[in-house]
Amino acid sequence: MTEPLNAERERPRLAASGPVRVRVPAKINLHLGVGAIRRDGYHELTTVYHAVSLYDEVSARRGDQLTLTMEGEGAGDLPLDESNLVIRAAQVLAAAGGVPAHARLHLRKQIPIAGGLAGGSADAAAALVACDALWGLGRSRDDLAAIAADVGSDVPFLVLGGTALGTGRGETISPVLARPTSWHWVLALAEGGLSTPEVYLELDRQRAAGLGPRPLGPPDPLMAALRQRDPVILGAALGNDMQAAALTLRPELGAVLEAGTDAGALTGMISGSGPTCLFLAEDQAHATFLAAELSGSGVCRSAVAVTGPVPGARVL
Ligand code: C5P
């Protein structure tokens, strides 16, 4: 007998008795194609998301109301009320599951805030997975990804992880046929963040003064590169339509990109809307070397070597 398609949803529901800990990765965009502005104010995207091994962690415990505490990156800078995506994710899931939004949530952050690595979206994805387990809802990953779209454009991808194509405003995820390989990256973290809406606005300004949005197409060279194992080919296929706008708002990032490529990175690029810069390395030893060079160069706050792809939000 074959398993019903929704077997995952039909498992007995067991609410967690102890704390649930969920680890979630940061994302980079191997390709970020930005199209025209839609009626709802979002930009049409064709992007290739890639989850990398820089992690945040959300833990969820039973409680009689919904609370959030945090430690690590940006503690003290982030509001812990309903404007925090973690709280919003828990509320959206509780409404969808018909349960009270009661949990004591704690966030341990390493992913920088407003860094172009979707840290806030990652935390929301982790909250969805943690509360699903705490409340015994037993939602499938695909169900959680569908709910995640109401929380933010990048949240569905961070529930799923890996390497995936994002379309629509980024929330529609489809798998990418890729050879199982680990790629080695270095992330150069900046002091201070960049606001994603402001970078989109700058991109719109530049396009209004120039040629307008370019038509969006599938990133064929990147798709072909992901079916091979050659980092030189992958490096040549990376691209980010938001890079010029991020560089206009933060010109000093030019020196970060130069420092990485001078040190021997295969390619350097702004991550998402920035200000994190990402560099592709040949292998792990090369990534460790590049991270040390960038850390010592004084052009960035710090640099970390990471690998990708890694899975999305997972219970530990
Ligand atoms: O979806 P999310 O809330 O994370 O998006 C944050 C902001 O980024 C949006 O309010 C919008 O200004 C901008 N955005 C956009 N087009 C997208 C995704 C985000 O203009 N596809």
With a 6 Å cutoff on the Cβ, whether 196 touches ligand 1 is yes
Best of 37, 42, 150 to mutate for ligand 1, by most ligand atoms within 8 A of CB?
A: 42
With a 6 Å cutoff on the Cβ, whether 102 touches ligand 1 is no
Is position 109 annotated as part of the catalytic site? no
Report CA(220)–ligand 1 centroid distance (Å).
25
Is the pLDDT assigned to residue 2 strictly greater than 60? Answer: no
Q: Which residue's alpha carbon is nearest to atom 20 within ligand 1?
A: 42
First to last CA, the chain: 32
**Mean pLDDT over residues 59-64, rounded?**
96
Is position 27 annotated as part of the catalytic site? yes
Report CA(102)–ligand 1 centroid distance (Å).
28
Report CA(197)–ligand 1 centroid distance (Å).
6
Is the pLDDT assigned to residue 17 strictly greater than 90? Answer: no
* Tens-digit pLDDT profile for residues 74-105: 998 899 999 999 999 999 999 999 999 999 99
List phi, psi (to 5°) of 57: -135, 135
CA distances from 41 to 20, 37, 90, 169 (A): 36, 6, 25, 10
Is the pLDDT assigned to residue 34 strictly greater than 70? Answer: yes
Q: Which residue's alpha carbon is nearest to atom 2 within ligand 1?
A: 152
- Atom number of ligand 1 nearest to Cα 41: 20
Could you tell me which of 42, 315, 21, 311 has the C-alpha nearest to residue 171? Answer: 42
Could you tell me which of 61, 139, 129 has the C-alpha nearest to residue 98? Answer: 139
Amino acid at 12: P
Per-residue confidence (pLDDT) for residue 278, from 0 to 100: 98
Per-residue confidence (pLDDT) for residue 214, from 0 to 100: 79
Quote the tokens at residue 181: 């390989």
Other C-beta atoms closer than 10 Å to the C-beta of 179 total: 9
Q: Which residue's alpha carbon is nearest to atom 10 within ligand 1?
A: 197
Per-residue confidence (pLDDT) for residue 1, from 0 to 100: 35
CA distances from 264 to 52, 230, 235, 291, 299 (A): 21, 16, 12, 11, 16
Peptide bond into 309 cis (omega under 30): yes
Per-residue confidence (pLDDT) for residue 243, from 0 to 100: 98
Confidence of residue 3 (pLDDT cuts 50, 70, 90): very low
**Mean pLDDT over residues 44-59, rounded?**
98
Is the pLDDT assigned to residue 256 strictly greater than 50? Answer: yes
The per-residue pLDDT of the chain, averaged, comes to 94
Catalytic one of 27, 123, 132, 143: 27
Q: Which pTM was predicted?
A: 0.94
Per-residue confidence (pLDDT) for residue 12, from 0 to 100: 47
The C-alpha torsion from 182 through 183 and 189 to 194, rounded to 10°, is -100
Is the pLDDT assigned to residue 8 strictly greater than 90? Answer: no
Report CA(204)–ligand 1 centroid distance (Å).
13
